[in-house]
Amino acid sequence: MIGGNSNDIRAVRLTVTVKFADFSISENPTSQIIPAGSERQTTITASSLGAFYGTVNLLATPSSGAVSCWFTTLTNSAPVNVPTGGKGYEYMTCTGGPAGNYTVTTKGTSGSLNHSVILNVTITDFSMSGPASVSFPTGASTGGSINLASLFGFSGTVNLAVSTPTTVSVSCPSNTSLISGSVTGAACTFNSSTPGQYTVTITGSFTCTDCYYNGKISHSVTITINVGDFSISLSPTSASIPKGFGSSTSSTISLNSLYSFSGTVTLTAQLSPVTNNSPSISLNPTSSTLAANGTVTSQLTITANSSTTKGTYTITVTATSGTIVHTATFTVTIT
């Protein structure tokens, strides 16, 4: 008590105003599905809480080197100015590959304050597979399937383009729709009338038309094309025999598979000239199954008897399989 009665007590009320200051950080959208090589953008928002104002420094850190992100500064860090009671914005662009599930953590720091948000990023892609090789006889055709598989939820239209030599014709669908989690087969047809071994490349491509940057995904399969054929040869190709009972000669017919040809080959033989007393001819066997890259043989036998007219004859041996026809000749002289 100062200058007063000791029993005189007075109350004093003191009011203190404390201003709370902080910020929050958010993103929109909270997840991104990005085709490999394309880009999508996410808006990062820093919001004032209470009396907060100032600069929030953003830093984006992907969970893997497979994903890269940057702000309008073209780096993975950027400042955002936040007014009192207001908001500040930055735009984060992300891309990546290979396909997989990843995260990007964006941390905002201002002085001793810091907050983070996590962006879930799925990089999608597709794979292509097909037969390593296809084989078919010259002049024929065969089919083969190119399989497209969705990876990590990829969906979209894949355009197919074929690169072939002029001797081979390949027909595939121009595009194939692929839905998330599926495997789709594109049926292709191969044909050629020129024997040989060739290489065909089929390329599937996709462009993301609704991405911030429309990157292009391309994958290819390479197929070896065997346009099969066969050859025919005789050994020996000529002989002389005297006329007489049981007089004969023979030649071995060899059929050789070329470019993985396989199938049944039928043999016929024709003698020229034909007279009433021509020598007789026979084939054994007249039909053979030729395996890919294999060889089979048959026997041509020419027989003359005592009444056979002397002279020189030509035997034409014809080998036929489907539309493939080859011939070889044997000359026999009856003395």
pLDDT digit string (tens) for 172-215?
999 999 999 999 999 999 999 999 999 999 999 999 999 998 88
Question: Which among 129, 128, 134, 117 has a CA at the least distance from the CA of 170?
Answer: 134
Q: What is the DSSP letter of 66?
A: T
Strand pairing class (77-82; 54-62)? antiparallel
Looking at residue 305, its pLDDT comes to: 87
Candidate CATH numbers 3.30.230.10, 2.60.40.2310, 3.30.2130.30, 3.40.50.1100; the one for domain 236-334:
2.60.40.2310
CATH of domain 21-124: 2.60.40.10
Three-state DSSP class for residue 115: strand
Q: Which residues of the chain have pLDDT under 70?
A: 1-12, 14-19
Looking at residue 275, its pLDDT comes to: 84
Looking at residue 1, its pLDDT comes to: 44
Query: Residue 6, Cβ neighbours under 10 Å: how many?
Result: 6
Determine what percent of the chain falls in helix, strand and coil, rounding each to the nearest 5. Answer: 0, 65, 35
Looking at residue 173, its pLDDT comes to: 95
Tokens of 181: 């989690």
Q: Answer yes or no: are the C-beta atoms of 215 and 249 closer than 8 Å.
A: no
**CATH topology match: 130-229 vs 236-334:** yes
Residue ranges per domain, the chain? 21-124, 130-229, 236-334
Domain 130-229 has CATH 2.40.40.20: no
CA distance 168 to 165: 6
Question: Which among 36, 244, 63, 292 has a CA at the least distance from the CA of 153?
Answer: 36
Q: Which residues contact 270 (CB under 8 A, 6 or more apart)?
A: 315, 316, 318
Tokens of 73: 């500064």
pTM for this entry = 0.81
